[in-house]
């Protein structure tokens, strides 16, 4: 059973704190993604990773950075979190850059 695992599922941080969101997949997929979803809206692509240390900006990369040191792990980092980064963050992976499988999401609140 293919699985994308996100940790933590819920997180509350103060403005200015650093935030680390972790994502893992057990399918050896090359491509992984980070999206954010705001209430009632679609998913916006933050970063895409084509493999280890091969990352590319998505549509809204500002305020975020990513790290992929192993194929099965893809981290999203917020240095000095802002209140407008309160959102639900979805990690996803794809074996072929076509079919995309999403994790359960991390609900981040920045206060």
65 binds another protein (CB under 8 A): no
Contact 103, 5 (CB under 8 A): yes
Minimum separation from the CB atom of position 110 to another protein (A): 20
Nearer to another protein, 80 or 88 (CB): 88
Contacting residue, 21, 48, 66, 78, with another protein by CB under 8 A: 48
99 binds another protein (CB under 8 A): yes
Count of residues that interact with another protein, criterion CB under 8 A: 23
Contact 13, 108 (CB under 8 A): yes
Contacting residue, 21, 29, 103, 108, with another protein by CB under 8 A: 103
Which tokens hold the place of 24? 């893992």
Question: Applying CB under 8 A, which part among 18-26, 68-76, 77-85, 94-102 lies near another protein?
Answer: 94-102
Cβ within 8 Å of residue 89, ≥6 positions away: 6, 21, 34, 35, 36, 37, 46, 76, 105, 106, 108
Give the side-chain half-sphere CA count within 13 A for 102: 12
Q: How far apart are CA 81 and CA 67, in angstroms?
A: 17
Give contact residues for another protein (rule: CB under 8 A): 31, 33, 40-45, 48, 50, 58-59, 90, 94, 97-105
């Amino acid at each position: 059973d293919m699985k994308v695992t996100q940790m933590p599922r819920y997180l509350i941080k103060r403005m200015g704190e650093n935030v680390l969101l972790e994502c893992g997949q057990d399918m050896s997929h090359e491509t992984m993604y980070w999206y954010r979803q705001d209430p009632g809206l679609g998913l916006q692509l933050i970063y895409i990773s084509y493999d280890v240390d091969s990352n590319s900006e998505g549509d809204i990369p500002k305020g975020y950075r990513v790290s992929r040191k192993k194929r099965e792990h893809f981290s999203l980092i917020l240095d000095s979190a802002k209140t407008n980064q309160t959102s639900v963050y979805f990690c996803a992976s794809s074996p072929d850059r076509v079919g995309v499988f999403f994790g359960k999401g991390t609900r981040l609140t920045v206060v």
